[in-house]
Structure 1
Amino acid sequence: MPLIALLPGDGIGPEVIAEARRVLDAMSLDLTFEEAPVGGAAYQAGGHPLPAATLDLARRADAILFGAVGDPTCDALERSLRPEQAILGLRKELALFANLRPAKLFPGLEDASALRPEVAAAIDMVIVRELNGDVYFGEKGMRTTAAGLREGYDVMRYDESEVARIAHLGFQTATKRAGKLCSVDKANVLETSQLWRDVVIEVSAHYPQVALTHMYVDNCAMQLVRDPGQFDVIVTGNLFGDILSDQASMCAGSIGMLPSASLDASAKGLYEPIHGSAPDIAGQSKANPCATILSAAMMLRHSLGMAEAADRLEAAVGAALAGGARTADLGGTLSTRAMGDAVLVAL
């Protein structure tokens, strides 16, 4: 019986996790759940955003369903104790090196996109983002220059094995879709990106059936707005992937609709909505739970081998939306629980 670690976290995290749990329970999949604190909630309770017991649960579990971390009352803490360190710590301790972020416009949500409906309707892509390198994990700090000025620095770095690992996953993802992979970098300026491009080209020799293209990150940001339908799979580094996947979410209608999976080499994963803790609406039952429910579907598919159940769950979300179910971010009036109810009815 698979064990699922539920880590609700901060802000709207507990609200959206509760709806995903209700939907999973209704599917009678013989899953077991164990909950633990993480992020600001864990710091407030015990003085650390990633307690040892929570990390132990994450290691024991077959998969992790994660809400969100982020608490403005913790902003003055030293960096190692801030809520966001919990997710970074989990990625590092569990070797979650690959982030899959699908972006697809569900029929009926064309008007929710910031793009023209006919442009938004073509969105159906997966962004494959590397998670364990780049400036997020490179050397960083504060220092004083010879002129006596404060200087902050963050080192962007990748070695070729790290690039090759995520490139292989990008190509493998593309082989299961339309066979197109766009590698995004900034090789005209950054040596790290030049290495990235060189290694991706080397890896491409193993996947002759996939059409490989390259694009600078600034151009990619523009193309996501101009013609997002051109993209099938995008593979990119940690920093660029963080930015581009959030941009893609708004092109697809709402950040409240996009799930994600963070995977290790064995496909054990942490699954979470990409929207963050949204403290401005926490506790008001305004949050859209669909991204978390769709994250649960990704969990069923990638870590638990339940592809049929995943398809069924994704279809239920689509049917609820097609029936007019909308939370505030989609221009509707449904509460978080009412949106969960609509998915349950469709299920």
Structure 2
Amino acid sequence: MASNKKLLVLPGDGIGPEVMHEVLRVVDWMDRRRHVSFDVEEGLVGGAAIEAEGHPCPDRTVEAAARADAVLFGSVGGPRWDKLPFDRRPEIGILRLRKELGLFANLRPAQVWAPLAESSSLKPDLVRGLDLMIVRESTGGIYFGEPRGIEILPDGTRRGFDTESYTEEEITRVARVAFELARKRTNRLTSVEKANVMQSGRFWREVVTEVGKREFADVELSHMYADNCAMQLASRPKQFDVILASNLFGDVLSDLAAAVTGSLGMLPSATLGAADSSGRRHALYEPIHGSAPDIAGKGIANPCAQILSFAMLLRWSFGMEEEAAMVETAVERVLAGGLRTTDIMVPGAARVGTTVMGEAVIRELDKIAA
């Protein structure tokens, strides 16, 4: 394999640095055992960047992300920054990176690992074998729409407002990603919106339907209202394969899917930009869990979502399917062996911390590579 793949690592806040440390051990293992070298640069984002440079996503971080072949992101935020102005909060860091790099397609797999079927909030029979993908539009919609703000009305009362807005091109490009993913899986796509009460939802449905008819006639397309989709995820999740949703609905539904799988600590994600003429695209990989400040520094956080985010990075940014599968298999074997962090603990399992879980993944990688 070619060496010197440029990787920007942004550990962030809370448990971010702890779980990222375990991923860097996997990166080092790849160098030693698979002869795949990464040029790793570390940067600041979120609260850590605020403390050091006064901004949640400094220009130098954006510039480093633009140079990198891929970005591995931790998590940001915490109560110490809750009272900052909206445009200086840690979470603005990830929003700026998505916008500046054009990262419009957020891929959030929701997979129930066989050893974790009992950890789901649903009955094991409802989730055993679950493997779905949520494609969330991530640079448009209500998180970025204008106008937005809080204003004082003529009668002296206050009003808060945000704007849900999508262009045809914004919907088309993320729909194509979802259709292409569906084509690689079971050829089924469910597009989610609120076309019954929102004009933007009606428009979303129209555009997705047009893209399907024009470019993906072989893919079975269905439409579902977002509230019904939430109910269906919580009652019959295995009916879905690929779900396409706007920024807001994708955010909510992917967290619900995470609860169905058993733990936020197990779910990775990838956020992709458009491919250039050479096929290269900006991409950022992160676990969908937050910074979990309540357990930060205790050494008990689950590093698996961050490790699995690295597996997605190997597959999507570098085409390293074999290595990605090795990492995923190693994680599954660790779980099958009965090791559990607190978030996925079940009776009879062995409770371990962040470092031991990371060490166990490395041991399994050694066995796989032997």
One-letter amino acid of the counterpart of residue 232, structure 2: Q
The 5-angstrom pairing of residues 96-175 of structure 1 reads 96-139=103-146, 140-175=148-183
Conserved 8 A contact 2:66-2:282:
no
Aligned CA-pair RMSD = 0.9
2:43 counterpart of 1:36: yes
Scaled by the length of structure 2, what TM-score is found? 0.92
2:178 counterpart of 1:184: no
Give a deviation string over 1:245-303, Cα, whole Å, max 9, x none.
00101101100000000110023210000001000000001110000000000000111
TM-superposed CA distance for 1:208, in Å, is 1.6
Q: Which residue of 2 aligns with 1:6?
A: 9
Query: Could you tell me how far apart the structure 1 residues matched to 2:359 and 2:300 are?
Result: 14
Query: Could you tell me how far apart the structure 2 residues matched to 1:24 and 1:223 are?
Result: 38
Give a deviation string over 1:149-190, Cα, whole Å, max 9, x none.
100000000011110111111100000101110000000000
Conserved 8 A contact 1:122-1:228:
no
Q: Which residue of 1 aligns with 2:339?
A: 325
Scaled by the length of structure 1, what TM-score is found? 0.99
One-letter amino acid of the counterpart of residue 274, structure 1: I
Conserved 8 A contact 1:96-1:269:
yes
2:287 counterpart of 1:278: no
Query: Could you tell me how far apart the structure 1 residues matched to 2:39 and 2:259 are?
Result: 34
SS of the equivalent of 1:108 reads: helix
2:224 counterpart of 1:215: yes
2:71 counterpart of 1:71: no
TM-superposed CA distance for 1:60, in Å, is 0.8
What are structure 2's unaligned runs of at least 5 residues?
276-280, 366-370
Alignment length (residue pairs): 347
Q: Which residue of 2 aligns with 1:269?
A: 283
Give a deviation string over 1:2-45, Cα, whole Å, max 9, x none.
11000000000001111111012112221121101110011011
Conserved 8 A contact 2:127-2:260:
yes
Deviates more, 1:123-132 or 1:142-151: 142-151
TM-superposed CA distance for 1:71, in Å, is 2.0
SS of the equivalent of 2:351 reads: coil
Query: Could you tell me how far apart the structure 2 residues matched to 1:117 and 1:49 are?
Result: 41
Query: Could you tell me how far apart the structure 2 residues matched to 1:249 and 1:341 are?
Result: 25
What are structure 1's unaligned runs of at least 5 residues?
none
Conserved 8 A contact 1:102-1:127:
yes
Query: Which of 304, 309, 312 is the matching residue for 1:298?
Result: 312
Q: Which residue of 1 aligns with 2:237?
A: 228
TM-superposed CA distance for 1:143, in Å, is 1.0
One-letter amino acid of the counterpart of residue 43, structure 1: I
Q: Equivalent pairs: percent with the same residue?
A: 53
Query: Could you tell me how far apart the structure 1 residues matched to 2:118 and 2:186 are?
Result: 26
